[in-house]
Amino acid sequence: MSADALAGLDERQREAATTLRGPVCVLAGAGTGKTRVITHRIAHGVDTGAYTPSRMMAVTFTTKAAGEMRGRLRRLGVVGVHARTFHAAALAQLNFFWPTVAKDTAPAIVDNKVRLLAHAADGLGMRLDTPTLRDVAAQIEWRKITMRSIDAYPAARPQGVPGMDLDALIDLQRAYEKLKDERRQLDFEDVLLACAGMLEAEPRVTAAVREQYRHFTVDEFQDVSPLQFALLRLWLGDRRDLCVVGDASQTIFSFAGADASYLLDFPRRFPDARVVRLETSYRSAPPILDVANGLMQGRPGALRLSAAGSAEPGALPQLTGYPDDAAEARGVAAAVAAQVRAGVDPRTIAVLYRSHAQSAPLLQALAEQQIAATVLGGKRFFDLPEVRQAVLALRGASVAPLPAAGLVASVRDVLRSLGLTDDPPPAGGAVRDAWEARRAILRLAEEAPAETSLRAFTDELRSRAKDQHEPAMRTVTLATLHAAKGLEWDHVHLVGVAEGLLPISYATTAAQVDEERRLAYVGITRSARSLSLSWSHGGAGRAPRAPSRFLQEIGTRTLRAVDAPATSGAASRRARSPRTTERPARPAR
């Protein structure tokens, strides 16, 4: 089966997949197939006998990514690999060893940090609103994942929380920890700290963990925090079977403790490491890669992406300036509507932006065009009330014999009883959202093998819910740049590429602006076939915005500047102000 595990890999991917021993660092640019390399490397190791599945830990950063990895491995014939997040792996070890070490059950996990902080604040006589409490929670998280005590916090993070003086912030952190201890609870970050502490203090536990896990793979290694790296080193001990995969240009969570230096300095920490660079993109058309490369040129760790030989030439990315935010929303919505009318599947279109506040006018403008949209980052698909209702109803119907008409007819009948109609209701409301969710379930039934029973179909729905393997609703996706990471679409509209939005106004240091640049890079590289960027001068009563400095950094001959439909005269000239973007595309490298 090893030939199957290596089938379809290019030369660099094969090099990474066949290097099974010792430290390995895979620098994988956007769209270069890093998840494919990880899973095929594990499968090749299992096929050749180098790895025992139960002794392999593959660490990811989200539950969804872990579920996707398990699914890919199953399709490669590999089961038993522990594909988990750092937190899930640490919690499993705590729950297993705590009764032996502490002679008691493991503490409960705090289900709502903000609510517990509110109780702690009440005990101090503080009256804090929810946004402030969220900021305090973020400071606590940052302090713990950077491995700082409360006493060390003031010197490391003196800006604190807006509206709170530093002493009050420290007092609240102490009260929060005291209340948590009294309730015998651990928060999310405590799970990692407690697991690391247990491994440091209990040699028997450390020996058992290291005996269980012999080989480690860590995805998205640019997002590792100091605490996660410390835990990884404890798991690893003095062994060398570690493979890390990442892209420094996609480090966009520095505010949460992510530190790309662990990726960039990997060869220094492990001098015998094998470093493999994946720079052939199988996602984006050459003109899109030109924009991405121009933006990141000369940045630390930046990879120079080139399109695969089979890539289509692609259209020149487009830049449009608008007189105000409302005009930008209407212009983008009109462009999306034109794509849909031309036959483009709405599921392959995304509108990306820097902050959630930018979504409201876009949703309204899309609804005016009768385009249904879903905002990424809301409720998970399988947590939607109409989806939960549908799954329960389908489960109930599955106890009866499947009618001769088959699975699709049975699922359609159940969903019709819950409100699914043949024609969609108008876009822009909860009724349409519910319709789209039910229609997505029916689409899954239509895509299932003809012989699938209703019971097997509902089992598959439950498995998808567990792995967060959500179906794509037939809607345009709206998402922040942070939420879009790891995803891809054929067509991307990146809005708000203006000073104050991208980079965001509070990015004042060089490091913060670099993070904003990487955010723009992530947005650009989500696109496979077409890319449009837009910006506006702002709204009434606002200081006028300038086009983003990133448009200048992208360089010449990579974007086509166009006039906004409703823009004329001076506004049109201002919309074209980044003159270096008005020339034909340069050849792909």
User: Which residues contribute to the annotated binding site?
Assistant: 28-35
Fill in the amino acid letter for 405.
Answer: A
Measured at the alpha carbon of residue 371, what is the angle toward residues 368 and 373, in degrees to the nearest 5?
Answer: 110
Q: What is 498-543 written as a DSSP string?
A: BTBBTTBTT--SHHHHHHHHHHHHHHHTTEEEEEEEEEE---TTSP
Q: Which residues pair with 27 in a beta bridge?
A: 246, 277
Measure Cα distances from 152 to 147, 157, 198 in Å. Answer: 9, 9, 22
Integer-rounded Cα Rg, in Å, for the chain is 25
Please say whether the beta carbons of 359 and 375 come within 8 A.
yes
Omega of the bond prior to 503 within 30 degrees of 0, cis? Answer: yes
Token pair belonging to 132? 């402030």
Please say whether the beta carbons of 351 and 476 come within 8 A.
yes
Query: Which residues, 6 or more positions from 388, have their beta carbon under 8 angstroms from its beta carbon?
Result: 382
Q: Which of 173, 269, 270, 190 is nearest to 231 (CA)?
A: 190
Q: Which of 93, 41, 96 is nearest to 231 (CA)?
A: 93
Which of 324-327's residues contact partners 24+ apart within 8 Å by CB, and which partners? Answer: 324/536, 324/537, 324/538, 324/539, 324/540, 325/358, 325/361, 325/536, 325/538, 325/539, 326/361, 326/365, 326/539, 327/536, 327/564, 327/566, 327/567
Please say whether the beta carbons of 222 and 250 come within 8 A.
yes
Q: Is the dihedral of CA 503, 504, 509, 515 positive or negative?
A: negative
In a 3-state reduction of DSSP, which class is residue 473? coil
User: Which run of H or E residues covers position 245?
Assistant: strand 242-246
User: Which run of H or E residues covers position 319?
Assistant: strand 318-322
- Binding site for ATP, by residue number, is 28-35
* Residues belonging to the chain: 589
Other beta carbons within 10 angstroms of residue 34's beta carbon come to 21
Burial class for 563, CB neighbours closer than 10 Å (0-12, 13-18, 19+): middle
Reduced 3-state DSSP string for 34-95:
HHHHHHHHHHHHHHCCCCCHHHEEEEECCHHHHHHHHHHHHHCCCCCCEEEEHHHHHHHHHH
Residue matched to tokens 């690999």: 81
Token pair belonging to 370? 């009768």
CA dist 139 and 135 (Å) reads 6
